[in-house]
Structure 1
């Protein structure tokens, strides 16, 4: 019996000893794995300086050689275009200068001050290229290239606006959202027309054209600032970030439509009534074509195809860019933007899950065109052509119109369920200008150069006001939102489902 009991005790102890042995072996293997990984990292660090080079040095040399080979290939195909003074060379210089300018502004951070928008660095990079004669004599961009690139950038902005509109958010706050979308834009356009007529001696039609250039708020500044507040829980109980994100897209649409209307009036020889009717025709055509194209992209490509998100993103981008450039070519200036907005909005309603992936691809496309857009705008402004009197009148017109916009926004929000401080915050958050001004400001100048050179003086003043509006309101607006938001808005614990949906839409703005 004793032997039997001892055997049982040994059998009972054996599993525990086996378990401990397995545990020790696993710990030992993990330690060996860690030692192996550390050894590999040390070897990689030590081999960075060996010959031949490894690691990051090797990647840098590889990328540099690839770019050099690509440049040589382009030089062999198109010749002087890639050399200093060529069109492609100038475009590359502007792109990389603007890209670096934006990165510098991202890196330079002041501890107490919120981050400034990178587009300001891109704008200043283009401005520097234009006003440094040694550089600018080698940088030449054809007007047709510049116009096509800006129209493409505008198309991407409208695609993102259409994809980002949330029908549930609009339905939930439709009254307030509509007032905030159209009211301040229209009131600022009218006030800018009034002030520019008496201060800058603009004709009324040029005054309204300038007003709609200024009337658009910049989603590139407002949306990231709102998302930062939303992530920290500020203002989400009353849906303030959601309201401003949704209204910023519609505000841009109102400004672009008004600008296209008065652009056709200014550069047309017909009567005012015929120009208004032609603008309404463009709007009707744009909406109808956008609906048809929106229904098409809802079902093509079908859901059973491979790489569905990439196919849909490519189809939307190609169709919208073709619509905008094609409408510009045949004279339907106001239709292309509406086609883009309506089509992307209808497509987003059907896609649901795939929408976020498509927005990421569109956002990556915007990351390419954003430096080109703001770099090209900066190169349009020459210090030599600016007069001190013109700068003074431009700043006075801009300041007065902006003051009217702030008061109008505060008044329109008085009928909503917001506290006094929240209404002040919304009014001050509605002043940043950048993206649409960068597209529309040069467009008037290019149109005048082609169709009516005697009107180039007015168009240069419009361009100057647009440049100053970006330079003054974009950084100051971002600072006001970042500083006042945490102090004025109430803070909640977590975001609701409505805010989360819009956050995912605009995360990559």
Structure 2
């Protein structure tokens, strides 16, 4: 069935693909289709009487932002505009989507209640978790209306629920929360692996590792040293915290850079996509090092075994990822009509068994490495079979998974913070350590970027973009505290774990909004704008920025632009 035949019954369908003859009519004999301009106001299309200059009023702008209109106008039943006038009410498409999600959620709750009983009823723990996740999603949506990252709203909803007594997580549900965070971690790492372009990484074999690893190491060491001397954390706890704090958040960076990319800022040198690629490597490093340190801290094996545990975790994780990625090339067969869902399940299942299985055998650092390696190797072979890096349907599925798990992850992380139990001294010293690490990282990034074909303004922008923390901190911040509780460690270690968690949450609250604002405001001032911005066409749902956009920065060139 052709694309046109699928939509021929929709009077609002916008078709840009017809070939016209010299007379201006479509060559296939079809009648002309009206093309709606995104800059044309909706009330002009619908010819609704509205007062003059209404579009300049603050409430009209706010209502349009809330609507978040999509490309093609939605079909609407008769009388919809009279019952739900523009722009105060959502489109029928948005209303129908929300209603369908509500009905699906209601059905799921009914099934769970029939199976589990009271825990799914109001005042039950499972019911509270479900309400928390829904409220976190809504809080994220409200925060996104301000152009700040939605995850800030999700985190604040979790903190609010915990401190007003709307959610209680205890007993067996602590284990449920831990598993949910590990599933979210698998999704994060898999997305990072699927977004890496092997050909571009080979071409940028010096620039990407240098910008990804050196500033990460600098911030990790600075945080470890300062928390050791200012907060009395043992060295191993300091480096555990440093490995988490040094991670950059793709959840913040990608959305902000994608807006700049659409307007053409930095595209001549592929700066937005270079930053995104480095942040993926940065996150993988953080998770791997954290896993190794965590395994050493919470194992009862001999010193010799602890020493060799790090290299064994690295070798085992990478080895598993390569083998699973090669297997995903042949299983399922590439012409199988169910190849997409089967590959999604293969990659998701492989990531879960890598993370959960490695922890069960005492090699927690191997799992995250195996997860991201399997995604990268799979993506490499699938691209050889014809799937483009930026149009990989498996990556699309993991984007959807992340839409589901993002409010779960950040909402649950917020519930770990009890404001009345926070130590003001810990908070103030923690903020000082975070600021010191960020400032020194920014300075070191500018120096490390020498030779990367970037001018001074571009180096400053790159260094500022890597200050945002969120995703890895939310996924790994509570892990040490969970381990201390499960293993019944001394109260002193519980105090260390709580400090780690508090600083991770502070890093999200402080750096995510500031980082998003700095990227948005400094981009147009520090980056050059191309004359023709990138225009996304076709079926692509988001056109994820790809390393393929990096065309001018090349390792084979010498010299540095000024």
Identify the match of residue 84 of structure 1 among 115, 122, 128: 122
Q: Closer, same or farther in 2 for the Cα pair 1:208/1:233, shift >3 Å?
A: same
Instruction: Decide whether aligned partners of structure 1 residues 320 and 441 sit closer, same or farther in structure 2, where only a CA change above 3 A counts.
Output: same
Could you tell me whether the CA contact under 8 Å between 1:222 and 1:429 is conserved in 2?
yes
- Tell me if the contact between 2:326 and 2:381 (Cα under 8 Å) persists in the aligned partners: no
Q: Please give the per-residue CA displacement for 1:389-434, whole angstroms capped at 9, x wherever unaligned.
A: 1111111111111111111111111232211111111111110000
Deviations 1:136-168 (A, max 9, x none): 358987221111111111111110011000122
Structure 2 residue aligned with 1:480: 518
Task: Write the distance in 2 (CA, Å) between the matches of 1:377 and 1:213.
Answer: 14
Task: Measure how far apart 1:68 and its partner are.
Answer: 4.0
Distance 2:83 2:517 in 1: 45
Which structure: larger Rg?
1
Shift, 1:61, TM fit: 7.2
> Which residue number corresponds to residue 254 of structure 1?
285
- CA distance in structure 2 between the aligned counterparts of 1:390 and 1:211, rounded to whole angstroms: 16
CA contact (8 A) 2:295 2:362 kept: no
Q: Report if the CA contact (8 A) 1:213-1:440 is conserved.
A: yes
The C-alpha deviation readout for 1:298-334, integer Å capped at 9, x for no partner, is 1111122113222211221122112211222222201
Unaligned runs of 5+ in 1: 1-25, 49-54, 110-114
By how many angstroms is 1:387 displaced?
1.3
Q: Report SS of the residue matched to 1:504.
A: coil
Q: d(CA) in 1 for partners of 2:370 and 2:210? A: 23
The answer as to 2:394 corresponding to 1:362 is no
Q: Per-residue displacement from partner, 1:191-243 (whole Å, max 9, x unpaired)?
A: 11110111101111111111101010001111222222122111122221121
Q: Is the Cα contact below 8 Å between 1:97 and 1:125 reproduced in 2?
A: yes
CA distance in 1, matches of 2:469, 2:304: 31
Distance 2:323 2:103 in 1: 47
Tell me by how many angstroms 1:506 deviates: 4.9
Alignment of 1:328-477 (within 5 A): 328-352=359-383, 353-354=386-387, 356-451=392-487, 452-454=489-491, 455-477=493-515
- Change in 2 beyond 3 A, CA 1:328/1:58: closer
Q: 1:106 aligns with which of 136, 144, 153?
A: 144
Deviations 1:359-401, CA, capped at 9 Å, x for gaps? 1111001111111000010000000110111111111111111
Contact 2:224 2:242 in 1 (8 A): yes
User: For residues 277 and 286 of structure 1, what CA distance do their matches in structure 2 show?
Assistant: 14
Give the Cα separation in 1 of the matches to 2:364 and 2:501.
19
Check whether the contact 1:183–1:412 (CA below 8 A) recurs between aligned residues.
Answer: yes
Structure 2 counterparts to residues 108-507 of structure 1, below 5 A: 109=146, 115-133=147-165, 135-137=166-168, 142-270=173-301, 274-352=305-383, 353-354=386-387, 356-451=392-487, 452-454=489-491, 455-494=493-532, 504-506=543-545
CA contact (8 A) 2:186 2:355 kept: yes
CA positional deviation for 1:457: 0.1
- CA deviations on 1:217-271 (whole Å, 9 max, x unpaired) are 0011112222221221111222211211111110011111111122123223456
**Which region of structure 1 is more displaced relative to structure 2, 65-74 or 398-407?**
65-74
Q: What is the root-mean-square deviation in Å for CA atoms of aligned residues? A: 2.9
Q: Which of the two has greater helix per residue? A: 1
What is the distance in 1 between the residues matched to 2:77 and 2:393?
A: 34
Report the TM-score, using the length of structure 2 for normalisation.
0.76
> How far apart, CA to CA, are the structure 2 residues paired with 1:311 and 1:414?
45
After the TM superposition, list the runs of 4 or more consecutive aligned residues in structure 1 that deviate by more than 6 angstroms.
44-48, 55-63, 138-141
Partners in 2 of 1:205 and 1:312 — Cα distance? 39
Cα distance in structure 2, aligned partners of 1:63 and 1:216: 34
Structure 2 unaligned residues grouped into runs of 5+: 1-29, 35-45, 47-74, 85-91, 547-562
Distance 1:492 1:40, change over 3 A: closer
**Cα offsets for 1:467-508 (capped at 9, x unmatched):** 0000000010011000000111011134699xx99x83459x
What is the aligned residue count? 457
Indicate how the Cα distance of structure 1 residues 303 and 200 shifts in structure 2: closer, same or farther if over 3 A, else same: same
Relative to structure 1, the CA distance from residue 203 to residue 166 in structure 2 (aligned partners, 3 Å threshold; closer, same or farther) is same
Provide the TM-score with structure 1 as the length reference.
Answer: 0.83
- The separation in 2 between residues aligned to 1:140 and 1:270, in whole angstroms, is 28
Find the aligned partners of 1:346 and 1:40 in 2 and give their Cα distance. Answer: 45
